[in-house]
Amino acid sequence: MAVSTVIFALRAEDGSAPSLWTPFVRRTREPHLDQWALPGGWLPDAEPLEAAAARTLAETTGLRPSYLEQLYTFGDVDRSPTGRVVSVVYWALVRSDEVAGAAVGNNVEWFPADHLPDLAFDHNAIVDYALRRLRTKVEYADIAHTLLGETFTLAQLRSVHEAVRGHPLDPANFRRSITASAEIVETGERLAGTPHRPPKLYRYRDFTRAAGAPAETPTPTEKTRTLS
């Protein structure tokens, strides 16, 4: 048994629009030596699933998201060439400043989530599945909140919608749909550090999520919800 983690973060390359990126770790042993793979590792007998996912993620990528959500358990009998491995896969969204703050090893590299290299095992299928889940999430409030924080400009919010949906949105239409919805309100403040006409900051009117609670599905017990 193994655990793996899919991480999504927003990243803008060379002044282009932000898109979703995800980190992989170069394998240092067979099978799939030198190929990129999801951060993860074997499940020790005495370690809770989520704790093992968090530990292996931190050890390889330096990332320490405030919580991990269980995504799916992958157990096809032929997914590893060296015998049956069942992998419990977790996922999390992280903000860019969490990425920047993480000490990163030599063997880690980030790739655009929709232009992946040829990954080890069935990890391409796993990331594709995570992307589909993210794109069919009903609540963008959770996604935006996690990627942007409490307040954001309309341009930042649009960049999240664009990155998740994978295509650009018309700025004027987006602004109209947001200001027409009662969900998102002005905070009365403006973005700091922008000298000329700083853009307004907005927030979700009723954003409530229990601290540490997964965005989509409550985990079954307190125990599995707390990272040790």
Query: Among 31, 75, 105, 112, which residue sits at the site for a copy of itself (rule: CB under 8 A)?
Result: 75
What are the helix (H) ranges across 27-186?
A: 49-61, 96-101, 123-135, 140-148, 154-165, 171-180
Residue 77 binding a copy of itself, by CB under 8 A: yes
Query: Among 74, 91, 152, 202, which residue sits at the site for a copy of itself (rule: CB under 8 A)?
Result: 74
Query: Among 15, 46, 106, 188, which residue sits at the site for a copy of itself (rule: CB under 8 A)?
Result: 46
Q: Which is nearer to a copy of itself, 77 or 182 (CB)?
A: 77
Q: Which is nearer to a copy of itself, 123 or 158 (CB)?
A: 123
DSSP 94: E
- CA 187, chain centre distance (Å): 26
CA 74, 77, 83, 84 torsion: positive or negative? positive
Please state, as a whole number, how many other Cβ atoms lie within 10 Å of the Cβ of residue 21: 22
Residue 220 binding a copy of itself, by CB under 8 A: yes
Query: Among 7, 43, 102, 141, which residue sits at the site for a copy of itself (rule: CB under 8 A)?
Result: 43
Query: What CA–CA distance (Å, rounded) separates 132 from 109?
Result: 22
DSSP 119: -
Residue 48 binding a copy of itself, by CB under 8 A: yes
Residue 215 binding a copy of itself, by CB under 8 A: no
Query: What CA–CA distance (Å, rounded) separates 40 from 139?
Result: 28
Residue 133 binding a copy of itself, by CB under 8 A: yes
Count of residues interacting with a copy of itself (CB under 8 A): 32
Residue 70 binding a copy of itself, by CB under 8 A: yes
Q: How many residues make up the chain in this entry?
A: 228
DSSP 75: -
189, two tokens: 């403040």
Query: What CA–CA distance (Å, rounded) separates 51 from 86?
Result: 17
Query: Among 81, 101, 212, 218, which residue sits at the site for a copy of itself (rule: CB under 8 A)?
Result: 218
Query: Among 26, 47, 175, 225, which residue sits at the site for a copy of itself (rule: CB under 8 A)?
Result: 47
Contact 37, 119 (CB under 8 A): yes
Residues that bind a copy of itself (CB under 8 A): 1, 43, 45-49, 70, 72-77, 84, 86, 88, 122, 125-126, 128-129, 132-133, 138, 217-221, 223-224
